[in-house]
Chain A
Amino acid sequence: MVEFEGKERRIERINQVLAQYKLASLEAARELCLSRGFDPHDIVLQTQAIAFENAAWAYVVGAAIALSKQDKTAEQAALSIGEGLQSFCVPGSVADQRKVGLGHGQLASRLLSSQSDCFCFLAGHESYAAAEGAIKISEYANQVRNQPLRLILNGLGKDAAYMIARMNGFTYVQTQFDYQTGTLNIVKEKVFGKGHRASIRCYGTDDVVEGVAVMHHENVDISITGNSTNAARFQHPVAGTYKKERLLLGKEYFSVASGGGTGRTMHPDNVGAGPASYGLTDTMGRMHCDAQFAGSSSVPAHVEMMGLVGMGNNPMVGASVAVSVAVEQAQ
């Protein structure tokens, strides 16, 4: 018997969805995937080792739905995976209300489409998790895309960006923003890794203005805005400001709001020490986002609390892409 966190609150809806796609059980869903040569359960735990068991099974259901619907492309499969994730949302929870399961599917689908050129993890706080997501995307997405997807991390903190790049084998891009002229100067680049990881560019910035400049420099057209930070300093303001400027330029920008503030912190900043702090982010996230994810960019437990599954939102983006690609390759 399959067991996972919060099963009793979730199983009724999961069973309904399984029945809708003529899948006999969770075990049968996994068997179906295994018979086609991949195991979503494993892919999830490889993406974020501390993910909960329920996250692994949510992707099993999503992948089985995609196989049942005979989705031909990863882009289509991602939407089906979103249905699987949505079936795991606890009824009545924040995750359920905001349809974040479907939102994850839509984001992955968009990432896999030729529409997207550069994806940004607009993350700062706890960005090791953004790195986990980025690594998975860089491994899988380009296996099925015609044009390679460019990936960047753009976050608060130059020291942190350096260390995240070093730890994960990305390319650290050191910038110096000229506040008089508004010019973004690249001081140096340091390549820490080899292969696909080295193609991920990691920026650290000092404030909102520099963060927006990085977005323009890389011509980002899709992003996930990671955890909330001091309202005056970063991330949600970067996404919102950049979105306005992109629209004025007549260019598209698909913005996803995620992080610890979204859905969890509903009140103005009540800590506000130094550059990283929660606050106002639920509101700011709603102001700029095309899709909103509930919980935390990185911490499984905080996402679970919001009623989705126990896996950080950023790693989930990686897992959604990876499983979608695995479905396409199985067809």
Chain B
Amino acid sequence: MSFTNTIESMCPIARGPHHRNSPIPVEGKWVNAIAVTDISGLSNGVGTCAPHQGATKVSINVKNGIIEECLIETVGCSGMTHSAAMASEILTGKTILEALNTDLICDAINVAMRSVFENLAYGRSQTAFSEGGLPVGAGLDDLGKGLRSQVGTAYGTKAKGARYLELAEGYVTRMALDEDNEIIGYEIVQMGKMMSAIADGIDANQALDDSKSVYGRFEDGVQFVDPRKV
């Protein structure tokens, strides 16, 4: 390290305070995080791109600074699905610091990664107070039983009203309307369940029927509409 002449010629004055940075809760311990490897935990971050056309959720499980597990879920943009595919391979094995300055190729994924980093650096992980954190694989649990992102898609116009396309229960195939033309229920297909059945060798049409269910007062409907067609 070199010093300028001005600094060299100064007389030394003692620095009094010696308090360290504040400890953060990490997997049940309070840690003075100095290096990135001091940080562990599972957390999520959400980001969007500049035009807010797509959004990403990134979930990472970090052990001693290294990303051991990642889940990247996207909504809204076809291009970012490919970026997510790449990120799922790029992120693991990197430290969270490296992951900030690596090339995740999509604005929304980068912003989501930045958000997760902030959570972890400030001790705001889901595993702040759970001893030993969560096992690798916990991130996948977020997807639920069907191993499919939870996607909600609803559309509406003033002229023609609302169309439910996909809700927590599944892919909406029909909406039920009452005598006043108001939505009172819907029929859905649980995509995860259907695809598992097909993978197990069940005939596709049979699997489709087996995965259908209804929500609300569907049976009371006086009219049924396909939200994608009518």
Contacts and interface: CB of A to CB of B under 8 A. Distances in A.
B225 interface: no
Contacts of B104: 157, 274-276
B49 A204 contact: no
Contacts of A163: 86, 89-90
Given A265-B51, A271-B48, A159 B80 contact: no
B5 interface: no
A279 interface: yes
B113 interface: yes
Contacts of A299: 77-79
B78 A160 contact: no
B113 A276 contact: no
Nearest to A205: B103
Interface stretch (A9-17, A105-113, A125-133): A125-133
B211 interface: no
A125 B51 contact: no
A55 B100 CA distance: 37
Given A50-B78, A125-B105, A159 B90 contact: yes
Given A278-B50, A301-B78, A302-B53, A156 B103 contact: yes
Given A270-B50, A275-B110, A298 B103 contact: no
Interface residue range, chain A:
35 or more
A264 interface: yes
B45 to A, nearest CB: 10
A260 interface: yes
Given A157-B103, A158-B103, A159-B102, A273 B77 contact: no
Q: Which of B48, B83, B101, B114 has the most CB of A within 10 A?
A: B83
B103 A260 contact: no
A264 B54 CA distance: 14
A217 B114 CA distance: 34
Contact of A269 (B50, B82, B83, B101): B50
A279 B53 CA distance: 14
B47 interface: yes
Interface residue range, chain B:
20 to 34
A209 B51 CA distance: 27
B128 interface: no
B69 interface: no
Contacts of A312: 79
A300 interface: yes
Contact of B86 (A159, A264, A279, A296): A159
A3 B151 CA distance: 30
Contacts of A160: 86, 90, 103, 105
A264 B102 CA distance: 26
Contacts of B78: 50, 298-301
B90 to A, nearest CB: 5
A308 B106 CA distance: 23
Given A274-B100, A275-B101, A125 B110 contact: no
B90 A128 contact: no
Nearest to A125: B105
A161 B110 CA distance: 17
Given A50-B78, A265-B50, A279-B50, A126 B106 contact: yes
A277 B79 contact: no
A126 B82 contact: yes
B51 A278 contact: yes
Nearest to B108: A271
A103 interface: no
B72 interface: no
B80 to A, nearest CB: 7
A84 interface: no
A124 interface: yes
A274 B50 contact: no
B73 interface: no
Interface in B78-95: 78-80, 82-83, 86, 89-90
